[in-house]
Chains A and B, each alone.
Chain A
Amino acid sequence: MKNLAIFIDSKNGLITESSKRLLDFASNWSFQNGSESIYVYGFELVSSDMLSTYSSIKQYTHIKIPDLVNHSQVITPLLEEIQQKGISQFFYVKSLLMDTIASSLANKLAIPLISNVLKVEKVSAGFHMTKSVFSGKATLTTEIKSESFLVAFSKSFSMELLSNPGNSSVGQTEITLGKDIQNKLIENHPLTGSIPLPDAAIVVGAGRGFKDPSNWGIVEDLAKELGAATACSKPVSDLNWRPHHEHVGQTGVKIAPKLYIACGISGAIQHLAGVNGSRKIVVINNDSEAPFFKHADYGIVGDVFDVLPRLLNKLKSH
Chain B
Amino acid sequence: MKILVCISVVPDTTSKITLDSSNTHINSEGLTFIVGPYDDYALSRAIEIKEQNQAELVVLHVGTSDSEALIRKCLALGADSAVRIDTAALDSYQVAQEIIHYTQDKSFDLIMMGKEAIDYNSGIIHALVAHGLGFNHFSPVMHADYDGGQLTLEIETDLGKSKVSSTLPAVLGCQEPIAEWKIPSMRGIMTARTKEIAVIAPSKTNFESQITAHVVETERLQKMIPVENAESLIDILKSENLI
Contact = CB atoms under 8 A, between A and B. Distances in A.
Nearest to B128: A103
A185 B162 contact: yes
B91 A142 contact: yes
Interface in A111-170: 112-116, 128, 131-146, 152, 161
| Chain B, interface residues (CB within 8 Å), range | 35 or more
B233 to A, nearest CB: 6
A258 interface: yes
Q: Is the interface of B mostly helix, strand, loop or mixed?
A: mixed
A82 interface: no
B17 interface: yes
B121 A132 contact: yes
A86 B43 CA distance: 42
A178 interface: no
B53 interface: no
Contacts of B26: 138
Interface in A216-252: 226, 250-251
Nearest to A95: B158
Contact of B237 (A185, A259, A313): A259
Contact of A140 (B93, B138, B165, B214): B214
Contacts of B22: none
Contacts of A84: none
Contacts of B122: 115-116
Given A202-B243, A300-B224, A137 B162 contact: no
Given A259-B242, A302-B230, A142 B211 contact: yes
A278 to B, nearest CB: 9
Interface string B103-135: 000000000000000111111100110111011
Nearest to A189: B161
Contacts of B231: 310-311, 313-314
A70 B221 contact: no
A23 interface: no
B167 to A, nearest CB: 5
A187 B127 contact: no
Interface string A271-284: 00100100111100
17 contacts: A94-B123, A96-B156, A97-B157, A103-B124, A107-B131, A133-B121, A135-B121, A137-B17, A140-B211, A152-B124, A183-B167, A184-B166, A185-B164, A190-B159, A259-B242, A298-B221, A310-B231
